[in-house]
Amino acid sequence: MLTSHNVCSIPSSFQLTGIPGLEPLHMWLSIPFGSMYLVAVVGNVTILAVVKVEHSLHQPMYFFLCMLAVIDLILSTSTMPKLLGIFWFGAGDIGLDACLAQMFLIHCFATVESGIFLAMAFDRYVAICNPLRHTTVLTHTVVGRLGLAALLRGVLYIGPLPLIIRLRLPLYKARVISHSYCEHMAVVTLACGDSRVNNIYGLSIGFLVLILDSMAIAASYVMIFRAVMGLATPEARLKTLGTCGSHICAILIFYVPIAVSSLIHRFGHQVPPPVHTLLANFYLLIPPILNPIVYAVRTKQIRERLLQILKIKTKIK
């Protein structure tokens, strides 16, 4: 390891602390975190399997749901196995390149998930405001292109983050990251160089993704609600709005924890570090856990197919 002025150094690896301040409870914390990760994996794999075998679900909304399931599996798997390794074995050491790769996966696929929610809002807008053209506008090809566009946007937005760190911030005053994963700002705060470019770029991406996407989704729902209010009967209005219920719940589940965690990280200096780190982990776990549950409970076709599978397994036993 090379040193600079006996203060800054070029680290070959970093040391993740898990949940700082709660180290004595790491073994106990592994139980709820491990359980939540297992639920997230089983739930999202189940959604993928159900949509694949049930041909009536081969529609744009459910294809987008499958994309969400894959993204949620990537987000949770990019962090939870390492966190459980820290809890069980104290294996907090992570190489510099592995740290940057983890950072890229977390922020990239969080951006991709926001893009998929935006595409789902467009799907609901067309389905409700222009239902006669829904099948011709949202073809399988268009759905695939929207998913690819969300992925490319995530790569283009987040790709520069690890590159900027690698090229502009080679020296660090410490190698211990007081976090459970390589979050962008947690790494940048350890750097010895000028991190203003990283801070400005990170804030800009946050604005583009969280603010602009949420504004676009809100605008689509304003038009949806205007169209729904024009329906003749209250029953028709409720039935039409019911098709948006799962999407609205999933949006809130995704955006609210991210917004709270981001605000606390930047402005909540009085918040204890364990609370911040727990919130940062929850926003990567809550959507993967709740999205399958929300869609399984609120979507009739998925619910009925799951019940059929359970009945078949019961009869076999």
* pLDDT score recorded for residue 5: 47
Question: Are the beta carbons of 96 and 169 closer than 8 angstroms?
Answer: no
Lowest mean pLDDT among 5-9, 130-134, 157-161, 250-254: 5-9
Q: Hey, what are 186's tokens?
A: 């947690």
Centroid of chain to Cα 312? 33
pLDDT of residue 44: 95
How much is the average pLDDT of 90-119?
95
Strands of 93-95's sheet, edge to edge? 93-95, 13-16, 176-177
Average pLDDT over residues 181-200: 89
Residue with tokens 């009967």: 233
The set of residues, in sequence order, having a beta carbon less than 8 Å from that of 17 and lying 6+ positions away, is 23, 86, 92, 176, 177, 178, 179, 180
The answer to whether residues 71 and 116 touch, using CB atoms and an 8 Å cutoff, is yes
Sign of torsion over alpha carbons 128, 146, 294, 223: negative
Band (pLDDT 50/70/90 cuts) for residue 3 is very low
Q: Which residue has the higher pLDDT, 304 or 6?
A: 304
Tell me, what's the pLDDT at 77?
Answer: 96
Q: How far apart are CA 86 and CA 18, in angstroms?
A: 6
Residue 317 confidence (pLDDT): 56
pLDDT exceeds 90 at position 273: no
Q: Taking 90 as the threshold, does the pLDDT of residue 21 lie above it?
A: no
Angle at 211 between CA 208 and CA 217, to 5 degrees: 110
Q: What pLDDT score was predicted for residue 304?
A: 79
Q: Euclidean distance between the first and final Cα of the chain, in Å?
A: 60
Instruction: State how beta strands 176-177 and 13-16 pair.
Output: parallel
Instruction: Please report which confidence band the pLDDT of residue 236 belongs to, taking 50, 70 and 90 as the band edges.
Output: confident
pLDDT at 85 exceeding the cut of 80: yes
Domains by residue range for the chain, with CATH: 26-315 (1.20.1070.10)
Residue 151 clears pLDDT 80, i.e. is over it: yes
Residue 7 confidence (pLDDT): 78
Residue bearing tokens 């491990």: 34
The answer to whether the beta carbons of residues 75 and 109 sit under 8 Å apart is yes
Q: Provide mean pLDDT across the span 117-135.
A: 92
Contact by Cβ (8 Å): 210, 194: no
Overall pTM surpassing 0.85 (yes/no): yes
Chain centroid, CA 266 distance in Å = 19
> What Å distances lie between residue 137 and 95, 112, 126, 134, 150, CA to CA?
46, 22, 8, 5, 18
Model confidence at 270, pLDDT cuts 50, 70, 90, reads confident
* pLDDT above 90 for 237: no
The answer to whether 307 and 58 have CB atoms below 8 angstroms apart is: no
Residue 78, pLDDT > 60, answer yes
**Looking at per-residue confidence, does 55 or 156 come out higher?**
156
pLDDT of residue 288: 93
The mean predicted confidence, pLDDT, of the chain is 88
| pLDDT at site 271 | 77
Q: Sorting pLDDT into bands at 50, 70 and 90, what band is 138?
A: very high
User: Residue 97: pLDDT above 90?
Assistant: yes
Beta carbons of 31 and 41 less than 8 angstroms apart? no
Over residues 280-286, mean pLDDT: 87
